[in-house]
Structure formats: structure tokens, C-alpha cells
């Protein structure tokens, strides 16, 4: 396999900018790798080779003419199949949208194209993004590049698997209950859940929704920050969008953590069961952090109420977004989503009011907590990559899993806080399965989360271990 596919996107970008590599050459290498590995992994779907080759040719012509180049100039990119792409199928993993071809890109895709990315296909997702295991009736199951009999995670599972296997240079994703973080942990790549408003979403059925966010994934933290620098920035159509330009994420990231105080908890202070090997790898970060100059303490924010906040607003989201489809074509939507919609429709005004109160109280407790520490390091996923033939793991850390969401609590309890979190590779089990940790920082402190994750990445060196 050509080593060029496994290089960091930042290295590829420098080679493209210098003329050492052309956009056509990189796309050829990418499509060759897709042809070789995607039949096994099923990470990339709806490939449009013709339009990608035309875009790569235009990119090379722009370079030859000396025109200004975007930060993603010539980099092949596969877009998550939950995000609308003009002229390219966007199915949401659902038979109801199997032939859906949008007329326009949604904002995050438009920004990536404008920055010079070569969009050549989509990455596979669970149906309507429900669950952290990637399978659907349209395209089937995505497998883990490190162990094809195991799950790649989800809902950005196709994105994570594609990155790990070198099928794409960068990948976008989204995260409500851990969909950028769980698959990053399973596939030994990096996923950043931004603060709400950091990456504005347009169009959106609910412009005030903060539980779910869009964000970047990469093989390294610097790759992930590069993509965030393009995705982030204000948009007047998104009322919660943050004012800082995305360019703030294009700066250098630290390799030392001197003067920082960082908490570590392998089980969120006993709130969640965790696989023993995951817990051991989280604990091992204590020595790594101290070696980087940080003061390390044990602990985690008080997450009281986070469960109810997440469950309430997630249920409302699915009732609003998929409820009408279930009414019209119930047989085209999987049972897990029927369950979510039913939960949303059963909520009362009092239930939502309570969840809003709990969310406010949670926000202020967490805000106060981050006045005492700079970050907290937690498992990105409670579980190891599990049997790909299962819908979800039946037990984690010796505890029975109640439903398809329950094993994702280490991620989704953090979603309820609205804090940014960067999942970064942290080690491998005895079987060679990847394990990541998430670096959680105060509300809107995205750059700090990425910086701490970068220092951990450089100290651990785990991102260098590619599949195969």
C-alpha cells in the first residue's frame, strides 16, 4: 500500500502546496486504496469518481496558475452521510432516502469545499445516526480496520474507519451521544466534539439545539485542528454561532503541559462501568501527564442531572426530526428510532422544563469545576470495539447494558455539559484493539482541549500505529 495515504493531512497539504505532490496523484492513491480495502471495511459509500477527478484537475490548474489556494487544497475528503452534498447521494442510512440527491451543500460541506477539499464520496452511518455502531439497510455494516470482526463505532464510524485505513485524508462528523469520540477511540484516530456554536449548522430544523454538534476528525490532532479551522466561524443564519474565526485553530499546538492542573477519572467518579483494559489505559495517562509537566489530580465534574438532560433533549430531537416519517412510512425506520420518537412524544411540558432547569444547574456546576482544573481526562468509550455482528455490547465492565445507548454514557454525559472534548488515541489492548481518552475542557475552551490532546498524542505515539 502506498505510504502517502497514511501521512498526516497536514503533511499532504504541505506537499500539495509545494508542488511535490499533485491533487490528481493524491486522489489516484486514495481511490486505489478505496478499491483495495473498502470492499472489506465498507467505510466509504456513494463514491463519485468523475466529479472528484474534475475537482482535482481544477485544483492542479489553480496551483499551476499561481492562484491563491485554500487550506485544504487538493485533500481528498469523504463527507458523513448525514450531511447534505450537492449532486451526491445523501441517504442518512435510511431506505426512505436511498435515492435522495440534494441540490445544495449544507454549510459545513460548503466550507470544506471552499477551502479546497476534493469531495469524492460519503462515509457510512447508522440509520439517522442512531447508535454508536455503523450499520444500515442501505449500505450494510462498516468494519474496524484494526480488527474487521469488530465494530468501528458510530455514528461517524465510516469516517473513523476510512481515516484509519487511509481511505480519506480528512473526515467530518457529528456528535450527540459520542459520535465523534466513540469511533475515534475504536479506530485509533482523533475526533473533536466542539462547543455548541463553534461549527454552525445550516440548514437546521432547530437553530437552538445544542446537544448535537458537527465537527472534525483526523489521523492526528493537528489534522483535526486544520479541519476545524475551516469548519468553524460565525454564520448569521445560526443564532448560536460563536464569533471567533476558524483561523484561531490553525496555530501551533503545545507539546508540554507545564503549569496546567488536570483531573483524571477512569469511570467518571463511579458513574459508569468501564472495561478493565480501558480503565487501565486511562489510569496510565496520569504518568504521561506528569511527565509533560502537569499537576494531576483525581476527579470529575458533578454530573448530576446529565442523564435526564441528555435523554430528554435527544428524544425531542428524534421526535421532531423523524416523527413525521415514522407516521408516513413506519416500516422504513428501525425500531431503535421508533423507541426514541415514542419517548419524545411522551414528554410533557413539565418534563422539558425540568430538563432545562437541570441543564442550567449542570452548566454552572461544571463551570465552577473548571475554575479549579484546566481539563479532565476520561475514557472516550467505556467499551472496547465489540463483535460487529451485535447491535451493541451486551455488557461492559461486568454490568449488563440496558439498551443501545446505555454503553455510551461516558461520552453522552459530557455532551449534556456542552463542554468541548477531544478524543485522542491512548493505547492498545493485549489483543491490539485501540483505546482512546477524551480531554474535556471548559465551555468554549476548544483550543485548550486540542492542545492537551496534542501533547498526549506526541508523548504516547499511538497515532503512528496504523492497521495491518
CA 265 to chain centre: 21
Task: Check: pTM over 0.85? Answer yes or no.
Answer: yes
Q: What is the DSSP string of 163-214?
A: HHHTS-SEEEEEESSSTTHHHHHHHT-EEEEPPTTSS--SS-S-TT--S-EE
**Which CATH entry fits the domain spanning 3-464: 3.90.920.10, 3.30.1330.10, 3.50.50.60, 3.90.1300.10?**
3.90.1300.10
Q: Tell me the CA end-to-end span of the chain in Å, nearest whole number.
A: 10
Count Cβ atoms below 10 Å from residue 403 Cβ, excluding itself: 11
- Would you state the cell numbers that stand for residue 96, as one nine-digit string? 426512505
- Would you state the cell numbers that stand for residue 385, as one nine-digit string? 470495539
- Taken in order 5, 9, 12, 16, the sign of the CA dihedral is positive
Model pLDDT, residue 37: 98
CA angle 417, 457, 161 (to 5 degrees): 75
Model pLDDT, residue 468: 85
Model pLDDT, residue 1: 43
320 exposure class (CB count in 10 Å sphere: 0-12, 13-18, 19+): middle
Q: Give the bridge partners for 295, in sequence order.
A: 261
- Asked if omega into 67 is within 30° of 0 (cis), the reply is no
Active-site amino acid positions: 80, 155, 179
| Per-residue pLDDT tens digits of the chain, which is 468 residues long | 459 999 999 999 999 999 999 999 999 999 999 999 999 999 999 999 999 999 999 999 999 999 999 999 999 999 999 999 999 999 999 999 999 999 999 999 999 999 999 999 999 999 999 999 999 999 999 999 999 999 999 999 999 999 999 999 999 999 999 999 999 999 999 999 999 999 999 999 999 999 999 999 999 999 999 999 999 999 999 999 999 999 999 999 999 999 999 999 999 999 999 999 999 999 999 999 999 999 999 999 999 999 999 999 999 999 999 999 999 999 999 999 999 999 999 999 999 999 999 999 999 999 999 999 999 999 999 999 999 999 999 999 999 999 999 999 999 999 999 999 999 999 999 999 999 999 999 999 999 999 999 999 999 999 999 998
Report the C-alpha gap between 15 and 20 in whole angstroms.
Answer: 5
Residue 90 DSSP SS3:
coil
Model pLDDT, residue 2: 57
Amino acid at each position: 500500500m502506498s505510504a502517502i495515504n497514511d501521512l498526516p493531512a497536514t503533511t499532504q497539504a504541505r506537499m500539495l502546496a509545494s508542488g511535490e505532490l499533485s491533487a490528481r496523484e493524491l486522489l489516484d492513491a486514495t481511490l486505489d486504496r478505496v478499491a483495495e480495502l473498502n470492499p472489506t471495511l465498507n467505510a466509504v459509500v456513494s463514491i463519485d469518481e468523475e466529479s472528484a477527478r474534475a475537482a482535482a484537475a481544477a485544483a492542479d490548474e489553480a496551483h499551476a496558475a499561481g492562484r491563491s489556494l485554500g487550506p485544504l487544497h487538493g485533500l481528498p475528503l469523504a463527507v458523513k452521510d448525514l450531511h447534505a452534498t450537492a449532486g451526491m447521494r445523501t441517504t442518512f442510512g435510511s431506505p426512505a432516502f436511498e435515492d435522495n440527491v440534494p441540490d445544495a451543500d449544507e454549510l459545513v460541506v460548503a466550507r470544506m469545499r471552499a477551502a479546497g477539499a476534493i469531495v469524492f464520496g460519503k462515509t457510512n452511518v447508522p440509520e439517522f445516526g442512531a447508535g454508536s455502531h455503523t450499520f444500515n439497510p442501505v449500505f450494510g455494516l462498516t468494519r474496524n480496520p484494526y480488527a474487521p470482526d469488530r465494530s468501528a463505532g458510530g455514528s461517524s464510524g465510516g469516517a473513523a474507519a476510512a481515516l484509519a485505513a487511509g481511505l480519506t485524508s480528512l473526515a467530518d462528523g457529528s456528535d450527540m451521544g459520542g459520535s465523534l469520540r466513540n469511533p475515534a477511540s475504536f479506530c485509533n484516530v482523533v475526533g473533536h466534539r466542539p462547543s455548541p456554536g463553534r461549527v454552525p449548522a445550516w440548514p437546521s430544523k432547530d437553530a437552538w439545539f445544542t446537544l448535537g454538534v458537527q465537527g472534525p476528525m483526523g489521523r492526528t490532532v493537528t489534522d483535526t485542528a486544520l479541519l476545524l479551522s475551516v469548519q468553524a466561524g460565525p454564520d448569521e443564519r445560526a443564532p448560536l454561532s460563536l464569533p471567533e474565526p476558524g483561523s484561531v485553530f490553525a496555530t501551533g499546538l503545545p507539546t508540554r503541559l507545564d503549569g496546567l492542573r488536570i483531573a483524571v477519572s477512569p469511570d467518571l467518579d463511579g458513574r459508569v462501568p468501564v472495561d478493565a483494559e480501558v480503565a487501565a489505559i486511562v489510569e496510565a495517562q496520569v504518568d504521561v501527564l506528569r511527565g509533560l509537566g502537569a499537576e494531576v489530580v483525581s476527579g470529575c465534574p458533578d454530573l448530576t442531572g446529565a442523564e435526564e438532560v441528555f435523554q430528554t433533549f435527544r428524544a425531542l430531537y428524534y421526535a421532531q426530526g423523524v416523527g413525521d416519517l415514522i407516521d408516513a412510512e413506519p416500516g422504513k425506520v428501525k425500531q431503535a428510532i421508533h423507541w426514541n420518537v415514542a419517548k419524545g412524544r411522551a414528554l410533557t411540558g413539565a418534563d422539558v422544563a425540568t430538563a432545562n432547569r437541570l441543564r442550567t444547574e449542570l452548566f454552572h456546576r461544571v463551570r465552577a469545576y473548571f475554575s479549579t482544573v484546566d481539563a479532565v481526562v476520561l475514557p472516550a468509550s467505556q467499551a472496547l470495539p465489540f463483535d460487529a455482528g451485535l447491535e451493541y455490547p451486551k455488557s461492559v465492565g461486568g454490568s449488563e447494558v440496558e439498551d443501545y445507548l446505555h454503553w455510551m454514557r461516558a461520552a453522552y454525559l459530557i455532551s449534556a455539559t456542552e463542554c468541548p472534548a477531544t478524543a485522542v488515541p491512548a493505547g492498545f489492548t493485549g489483543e491490539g484493539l485501540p483505546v482512546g481518552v477524551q480531554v474535556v475542557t471548559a465551555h468554549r475552551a476548544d483550543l485548550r482541549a486540542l492542545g492537551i490532546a496534542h501533547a498526549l498524542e506526541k508523548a504516547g505515539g499511538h497515532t503512528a500505529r496504523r492497521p495491518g
